[in-house]
Structure formats: C-alpha cells, structure tokens
Amino acid sequence: MRRASAAALVCATVLSASGAGADEAGTRLGLMLGRTEQVGSLGNRFDLGWTFGLEAGWMPSWAGFVWSISYTYFSASDGRDPIQTLTLWDFGASFRARAPLRRTGIPIFGYGQVGLAILRASTALPPDDSMTFFGPKLGVGLETHWSWFFLGVEADYGLITGGPSGLQILTRLGAGRF
C-alpha cells in the first residue's frame, strides 16, 4: 500500500507541476519498454529479453540526472542449458546532457548519458558465480515532447565492466516539465 501511495503522489506531483512556467526546473516520470540482448559471456546462452521499467529525472537545463529501475526477463536459447530463465533487476543513475536537433514545430532532442548501475540476477552467473553486480553504463537517445508529454527511443549499454553486459533498445513514454 505504501508503494502505491508513493507512486500516486509522485505521479500527481509531476502532472500538477507540468503546467508550471518555463523558469522552473524540468522534472519527469516515465515508463520504459524494450528488448535486451546479452553480450559477452552470456551472449549466446539467452534469447532476446523483454525489459520493463520506470524512469524519473531532473533536467534543469541542457544537463541533468535520470534514475531508473528496470526488470528484464530472458529465456535460454538452448533447452539443455541448466539456467532456463534469467531475470535481472537494474537500478541505475546517470548524468544526461541533451541538445536540440530541431526547434521549430515538434522539438526533437538528442542526448547522451553516462552512469552507474547495480544489477541483481535471479541466479548466480559466471565467471565468479555472483548474483549482484555494479558498474558503469552508457546511453544515447532521441526524444520529443508535446506540452507535458514526452516520447523517446534510447540505446543503452551496460554493464561495461563489473558484470554481465547487455545492449538495450528502449522506448520511453512519460510526463514532465520541459
């Protein structure tokens, strides 16, 4: 019940503040949906995974911060693999810088981000048979917005070091101030 109340409060805050003036800092709350491909040591063991998540951010100008939590589900590519399903929880925080690519009509922004992530697996993974990993990640993307609504596409690569690496292609949809 507390989680639902907190989520409702955050949504109401973002939506009620979306009509504020342009002088105020940009905040955002959104959903993420996409596909993930494991690379590196796990690359050939699992099929494409589905990723679902939430994103929140603070972009006072051309630079800011975003936080995300995502859940990814993979199935084994070989029926003989001892790990038939793998789930990952990814908690990340990134510094994001964006630049306008188109200012007239519907605005389009390009952005790059660098951050850190904590990854939690449903089972112990090689090479050190750990379930928790920590490391850096990178991302690039495009987004547009109309009034308080935003839509974006992002490519994200993480963990660069420190654990299982994956490439995510995400669609982002949400609300906020710009």
**Each residue's pLDDT tens digit, 115-125:** 999 999 999 98
What are the distances in angstroms from CA 21 to CA 60, 94, 129, 153?
12, 26, 51, 26
Stated pTM of the model:
0.81
Please name the amino acid found at residue 150.
F
Domains of the chain plus CATH, in order, are: 2-176 (2.40.160.20)
**Each residue's pLDDT tens digit, 48-106:** 999 999 999 999 999 999 999 999 999 999 888 888 999 999 999 999 999 999 988 89
Counting Cβ atoms within 10 Å, is residue 24 exposed (0-12), middle (13-18) or buried (19+)?
Answer: exposed
With a pLDDT cut of 90, the percent of the chain lying above it is 67
